[in-house]
Amino acid sequence: MKVTLSALDTCETSFTPLVVIELAQNVKEETKEWLKSRIIAKKKDGGSQLLIRPLLNKYEKETLVNQNLYLIGASNVRLLLGAEALGLVKECNDSTMRAFTYGTRQSFRGFDDNNDDFLTMAECQFIVKHELENLRARDEKMIPGYPQAKLYPGKSLLRRLLTSGIVIQVFPLHDNEALKKLEDTWYTRFTVKYQPIDSIRSYFGETIALYFGFLEYFTCALIPMAIIGLPYYLFAWEDYDKYVIFASFNLVWSTVILEVWKRGCACMTYRWGTLLMKRKFEEPRPGFHGVLGTNPVTGREEPLYSSYKRQMRIYLVSLPFVCLCLYFSLYVMMIYFDMEAWVLALHEDSESEWTSLLLYVPSIIYAIVIEIMNHLYRYAAEFLTAWENHRLESAYQNHLVLKVLVFNFLNCFASLFYIAFVLRDMKLLRQSLATLLITSQIINQIVESLLPHWLQKKHGAQVKRKLQALQAGIDATLYEQVVLEKEMATYLGTFDDYLELFLQFGYVSLFSCVYPLAAVFAVLNNFTEVNSDALKMCRVFKRPFSEPSASIGVWQLAFETMSVISVVTNCALIGMSPQVNAVFPDSKVDLILIVIAIEHALLALKFILAFAIPDKPRHIQMKLARLEFESLEALKQQQLTLVAENLKEEASDREEKQAP
């Protein structure tokens, strides 16, 4: 008998597989049936009203493994209703942006009832994911067949299934044709050009497109810095008056680029519709738990958790823990410097080849310890932030980013600050800075993209060969794709990519007056980073779920904070330089006071600039104001209709009474 894919011979020919659910191998039939029925069940019965198909039909199961893969799809109407529930914003025919509603679907640009191109595949997958995640327990006390997997009303089923190990993973499928097209315009040809941000957005979603947009913008913004920094290296300019000019320029530049990014970002996300998407009314995140109650804002039934308790957890547990970790990190750094000094003394006492090798040992140990600490801390931060039980995914992300950021900042820059302000060894500072920046960039690119890509390719070839041996001569593209993709690594979000950029920004801006060449290296790195990150997204990782977002969120704040810190460090470095000190040979006090005065003036200028440049361009402000005005007018109108109805009812009541 010929092996055919069950997904292809269903009665509904329009079934497009969007998302794959992988169950554990030994899941009981009872559980499978229950899960399937819950997914198929109508919305009003507490289901998610999606379509589900096993990847293989019964006959195939006998000859093949992977009997535990299910494909999820949805009818076109279901997806459109899901888009409405999510509040997706689309462009109308009159080129305004409005929240999509099924009822008004004809007024949206590019909509056609016979054509399902209106929603991008990424959006469809996001809708499916959202529906699956918000499939919640009603009266079940446990997952059927697994008495230890407890449920309570309002608990997200998928979350419980994942934590109990019944569902191994849920991931969206690639669209090979579209992916190929995207790759061609993105990174396969090595020419200098802008990235196709809009195409990236429609394939990977807004969060990832914003990352690539920011990476590109940031790189372009660094080019002037690099051009100005280059002659400092070429002509070996060591005059500190030149460095002062460079540092001041750096500073105004860094403020302005961050403000301009905010405006550009608002334009972009307005076009994408995410600027208007109301994050406030998003459903609680899957990990959120609480007692089922009525949300006072939306009036919908959903789990509630007291914000007071959350605050207590944040301020009484998380905050002290983070402080403790910071202290510990500083303590480790001090041990490192002690070790360094001890080894140096040993080397000077008894100079031998053995001791000169030993000189490298403290750095290596410290580097390893830092990495370990970063990882351990990351786990702790994730655990704590989950325990804080934030209602919205965005709040969770913000708190996590803040925690990890502070720690990473200290871990990466503390030693540089120590060298700069305690040891006051500018030569060593420049050396460490250059080494740190360049090596971290090279290692990052190799470990992050090229190595996984090579491994992935090798693995892919293996899988292909195995498949061909098993089922020679049949068309099994979908089966092959699913099996290949399920083995790919999962992309864990833009966090690490932003963190890399953030640390790079730190290297470039914090000590820029000591090492103006940093910007040059950053630009060079980012040109290849775009390509390696693109490769990573397209070929190394599973396709990530699209995630709408209106800005780079907490990272904007992080970059702004970094640029404030950089003002302080740059002023201090300039004040400490021997050239500047030579100008005030008699009075160090005068020198310090002048530096402080300049620093305060620069900080004030920074805040005034940030205040004076509006966050959103005027035309976007106008459009937002128009939408708000319309929605208020609509509310008034609705109230009027309500009153009219009430009056009519009253009148008819009266008539009825008079009738007999």
In sequence order, what are the beta bridge partners of 143?
146
Task: Pick from 147, 296, 578, 660 the residue near a copy of itself by CB under 8 A.
Answer: 296
What track of x and - describes contact with a copy of itself for positions 303 through 332 (by CB under 8 A)?
----x-------------------------
Which residue, among 481, 483, 330, has the nearest Cα to 418 in the 3D structure? 330
Amino acid residing at 656? E
361 binds a copy of itself (CB under 8 A): no
Does position 10 interact with a copy of itself (CB under 8 A)? The reply is no
- How far is residue 647 CA from its own chain's centroid? 52
DSSP lists the bridge partners of residue 291 as 304
Q: Which residues from 17-36 bind a copy of itself, rule CB under 8 A?
A: none
Question: Nearest approach, Cβ of 115 to a copy of itself (angstroms)?
Answer: 19
CA 521, CA 445: separation in Å to the nearest integer?
A: 14
132 sits near a copy of itself (criterion: CB under 8 A)? no
Q: How far is the CB of 50 from a copy of itself (least distance, A)?
A: 23
Question: Taken in order 196, 129, 170, 555, is the CA torsion positive or negative?
Answer: positive
Q: Which stretch binds a copy of itself (CB under 8 A): 225-233, 381-389, 409-417, 640-648?
A: 640-648
Return the number of the residue (372 or 604) whose C-beta is nearest a copy of itself.
604
* Smallest distance, a copy of itself to C-beta of residue 433, A: 23
Figure out which of the listed residues 291, 316, 317, 640 binds a copy of itself, where binding follows CB under 8 A. Answer: 640
What is the per-residue binding string for a copy of itself in 88-107, x denoting contact by CB under 8 A?
A: ----------xx-x-xx-xx
End-to-end Cα, the chain, rounded Å: 77
Q: Which is nearer to a copy of itself, 231 or 293 (CB)?
A: 293
Query: C-beta of 84: minimal distance to a copy of itself in Å?
Result: 8
- Residue 581 as a binder of a copy of itself (CB under 8 A): the answer is no
Q: Does 185 bind a copy of itself (CB under 8 A)?
A: no
What phi, psi does 89 have (nearest 5°)? -105, 130
Which residue number, 44 or 636, has a Cβ lying nearer to a copy of itself? Answer: 636
Q: Which is nearer to a copy of itself, 296 or 660 (CB)?
A: 296
SS3 2: coil
Query: By CB under 8 A, what part of segment 196-255 binds a copy of itself?
Result: none
Report the distance separating Cα 337 and Cα 342, nearest Å. 9
CB nearer to a copy of itself: pick between 85 and 162: 85
Kindly state the tokens that stand for 542: 């599973």
User: Would you count residue 45 as binding a copy of itself (CB under 8 A)?
Assistant: no
Residue 136, strand partner residues? 156
- Stretch of 238-246, 366-374, 505-513, 624-632 contacting a copy of itself, by CB under 8 A: 624-632
CA nearest to 102, candidates 43, 173, 15, 23:
43
Closest CA to 564 of 510, 485, 638, 495: 510
CB closer to a copy of itself, 490 vs 637: 637
Q: How far apart are CA 187 and CA 199, in angstroms?
A: 13
Q: Which residue has the tokens 């995140």?
A: 285
Residue 582 within binding range of a copy of itself, rule CB under 8 A: no
Here the tokens at position 234 are 């070429």
* Distance of alpha carbon 229 from alpha carbon 251, whole angstroms: 14
Residue with smaller CB distance to a copy of itself, 359 or 568: 568
Contact by Cβ (8 Å): 255, 557: no
Check binding of 294 to a copy of itself (CB under 8 A). Answer: no
| 618 near a copy of itself (CB under 8 A) | yes
| Paired tokens of 270 | 């307005």
E strand or H helix that includes residue 615 = none
The one-letter amino acid at 68:
N
Closest distance of CB 432 from a copy of itself, Å: 23
Are the C-beta atoms of residues 498 and 552 closer than 8 Å to each other?
yes
Identify the three-state secondary structure at position 102.
coil
- Closest by alpha carbon to 407, among 386, 431, 379? 379
For residue 179, the surrounding DSSP H or E stretch is: helix 176-186
Q: Is 281 in the site for a copy of itself (CB under 8 A)?
A: yes
Q: Which stretch binds a copy of itself (CB under 8 A): 21-29, 169-177, 278-286, 428-436?
A: 278-286
77 binds a copy of itself (CB under 8 A): no
Whether 565 and 278 have beta carbons less than 8 Å apart is answered as no
Q: Which stretch binds a copy of itself (CB under 8 A): 117-125, 206-214, 455-463, 587-595?
A: 587-595
Distance, in Å, from the CA atom of 18 to the CA atom of 517, rounded to the nearest integer, reads 47
Task: Confirm or reject binding of residue 578 to a copy of itself (CB under 8 A).
Answer: no
406 sits near a copy of itself (criterion: CB under 8 A): no
Check residue 554 for interaction with a copy of itself (CB under 8 A): no
Report the interface residues with a copy of itself, using CB under 8 A. Answer: 84, 87, 98-99, 101, 103-104, 106-107, 278, 280-281, 296-298, 307, 568, 588-589, 592-593, 596, 600, 618, 622, 625-626, 628-632, 634-640, 642-644
